[in-house]
């Protein structure tokens, strides 16, 4: 039995493209995920976010659902092409009105609004102009952030600039598994830098435009690499550099790691980094958002046997590991979730301890953690004990880290409801609430009931 401290925030997370639907309503423009999902062969079953969980049209009922679960915080993302279609000029009043209603609805129910400004849905027009490998995209993001915070920044408790920029850069421009589906290592590294820059340029804009002194954060997805052989130290170091330190070091320390520069020297000359960029990227933040799902096991490929690539990011034509394509990702030991990701709560505890050690003074918040399982509905009920167990064990690991002195402020489960899981379409269900995509009926799963109980009793 563990005790969840009273001031430890418990909530749930979603993202705009994954739940909202209403892709063509009220002036929303196209994003790279509309284009990508509508391109044959890019997503499972050709699924798109056109309708998703229809959250845009079911806002009030979904807010009531959050209240019935007793959520203390709700992390959502703002769709850039909904509030600023085409990424130019003044905001779309109808798009803003939706998020304004969402924020007001949360506050009226006593739920803290945690708003992410970018969860992967880049306006298509910006991709057409070069996308994240183009420097101008960072400037445009900062402008969009400023305008958005001007209209919502009297009520939002926490702003997050970017969600998982690693995925945007390396899955989007390197592997091609995510939108926009490009496969160019140099472009991926340029995208990485411009995402870091976008974050750094947006932070002061958010502080300037807000009228309620919100917390400002970025959310990173951490890879926890394990050695897959006796001599895997170098492979672990390389993946840690590309996956983790490529963002934590510039954002929290104002520099790119030397080893990352060396590892990628054959891919790019890094000319995209200009004088003054790193100081901007290191603008102080109040909280670091941590997304954690599983570990990876790596080793150097021997160059002879077929190379294995179980990095958890699915099959793709390109690589998300520019300059380190020779690192092998070995199959993960079980047990695993429906994503094929291994279940390792201890690694979350280890990660939190490491972040506290390497970046002291940076408060942490688990902004995503959760699991997909193939749920079944029996007599109107979803007995998802595996998901319940997953959440309880990861929450316990987080509390252990906190008891060991890590300043971790809360835990937001991914996800409030089943949704469009990017390249996997609707084949993977992460919700603590089930969504029936034919009827849009919501059913609180057993994991959701248990989560509500945890929030209330605060004992694990
Ligand atoms: C994360 C994403 C989130 C969701 C989960 C399963 O990488 O931020 O949108 O897809 O994975």
Q: How far is the CA of 305 from the centre of ligand 1 (A)?
A: 32
Q: How far is the CA of 302 from the centre of ligand 1 (A)?
A: 32
Cα–Cα dist 243/320, whole Å: 9
Catalytic site residues?
A: 164, 368
Mutation pick for ligand 1 pocket among 422, 424, 429, 432 (CB with most ligand atoms within 8 Å):
422
Of ligand 1's listed atoms, the one at least distance from the Cα of 428 is 6
Q: In 210-245, where does DSSP find H-type helix?
A: 233-240
pTM: 0.98
Cα–Cα dist 164/346, whole Å: 21
Task: Tokens 């009793």: give the residue.
Answer: 457
CA distances from 343 to 94, 134, 348, 391 (A): 42, 37, 10, 11
Mean pLDDT of 310-320: 91
| Contact present, 426 and 420 (Cβ < 8 Å) | yes
> What are the two backbone dihedrals, phi and then psi, of residue 187, each rounded to the nearest 5 degrees?
-65, -40
Cis peptide before 349 (omega within 30 of 0): no
Q: Which residue in 133, 302, 320, 296 sits closest to 231, CA to CA?
A: 302
Q: Report which of residues 302 and 294 the model is more confident about.
A: 294
Check pLDDT > 90 for residue 159. Answer: yes
Q: 300-307: which pairs have CB atoms within 8 A and are 24 or more residues apart?
A: 300/229, 300/231, 300/232, 300/234, 300/235, 300/326, 300/327, 300/328, 301/326, 301/327, 301/328
Check pLDDT > 80 for residue 1. Answer: no
**pLDDT digit string, tens, across residues 39-97:** 999 999 999 999 999 999 999 999 999 999 999 999 999 999 999 999 999 999 999 99
Cα–Cα dist 426/372, whole Å: 11
Check residue 345 and give its pLDDT: 98
Q: Which residue in 450, 447, 452, 455 sits closest to 382, CA to CA?
A: 447
Sign of CA dihedral 162, 258, 317, 303: negative
E strand residue ranges, 7-152: 9-13, 73-77, 112-118
* Tokens matching residue 350: 């280890």
Using a 6 Å CB cutoff, which residues line ligand 1?
15, 18, 163-164, 167, 221, 291, 368, 414, 421-422, 430
Q: How far is the CA of 398 from the centre of ligand 1 (A)?
A: 19
Q: How far is the CA of 167 from the centre of ligand 1 (A)?
A: 9
Check residue 315 and give its pLDDT: 83
Check residue 305 and give its pLDDT: 86
Check pLDDT > 90 for residue 385. Answer: yes
């Amino acid at each position: 039995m563990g005790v969840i401290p009273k001031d430890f925030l418990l909530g749930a997370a979603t993202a705009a493209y994954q739940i909202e639907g209403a892709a063509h309503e009220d002036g929303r423009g196209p994003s790279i995920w509309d284009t990508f999902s509508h391109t044959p062969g890019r997503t499972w079953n050709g699924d798109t976010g056109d309708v998703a969980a229809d959250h845009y049209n079911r806002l009030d009922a979904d807010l009531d659902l959050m209240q019935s679960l007793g959520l203390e915080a709700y992390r959502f993302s703002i769709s850039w092409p909904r509030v600023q279609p085409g990424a130019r000029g003044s905001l779309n009043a109808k798009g803003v009105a939706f998020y304004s209603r969402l924020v007001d609805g949360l506050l009226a129910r006593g739920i803290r609004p945690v708003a992410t400004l970018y969860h992967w849905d880049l306006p298509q027009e910006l991709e057409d102009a070069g996308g994240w490998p183009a420097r101008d995209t960072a400037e445009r993001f900062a402008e969009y952030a400023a305008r958005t915070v001007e209209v919502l920044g009297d009520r939002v408790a926490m702003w997050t600039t970017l969600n998982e920029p690693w995925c945007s850069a390396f899955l989007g421009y390197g592997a091609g598994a995510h939108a926009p589906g490009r496969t160019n290592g140099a472009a991926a590294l340029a995208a990485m830098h411009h995402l870091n820059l976008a974050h750094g340029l947006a932070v002061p804009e958010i502080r300037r435009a807000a009228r309620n002194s919100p917390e400002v954060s970025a959310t990173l997805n951490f890879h926890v690499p394990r050695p897959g052989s006796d001599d895997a130290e170098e492979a672990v170091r390389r993946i840690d550099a590309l996956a983790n330190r490529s963002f934590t070091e510039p954002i929290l320390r104002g520099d790119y790691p030397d080893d990352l520069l060396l590892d990628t020297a054959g891919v790019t000359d890094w000319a995209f980094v200009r004088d003054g960029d790193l100081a901007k990227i290191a603008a102080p933040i109040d909280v670091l958002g941590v997304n954690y799902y599983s570990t990876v096991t790596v080793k150097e490929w021997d160059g002879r046997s077929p190379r294995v690539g179980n990095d958890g990011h699915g099959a793709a034509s390109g690589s998300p590991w520019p300059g380190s394509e020779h690192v092998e990702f070995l199959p993960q030991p079980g047990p695993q979730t429906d994503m094929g990701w291994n279940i390792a709560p201890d690694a979350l505890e280890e990660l939190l301890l490491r972040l506290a050690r390497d970046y002291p003074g940076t408060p942490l918040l688990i902004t995503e953690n959760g699991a997909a399982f193939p749920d079944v509905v029996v007599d109107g009920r979803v007995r998802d004990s595996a998901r319940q167990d997953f959440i309880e064990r990861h929450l316990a690991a987080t509390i252990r880290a906190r008891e060991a002195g890590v300043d971790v402020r809360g835990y937001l489960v991914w996800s409030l409801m089943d949704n469009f899981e990017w390249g996997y379409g609707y084949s993977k269900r992460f919700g603590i609430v089930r969504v029936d995509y034919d009827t849009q009926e919501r059913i609180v799963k057993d994991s959701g009931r248990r989560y509500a109980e945890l929030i209330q009793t605060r004992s694990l």
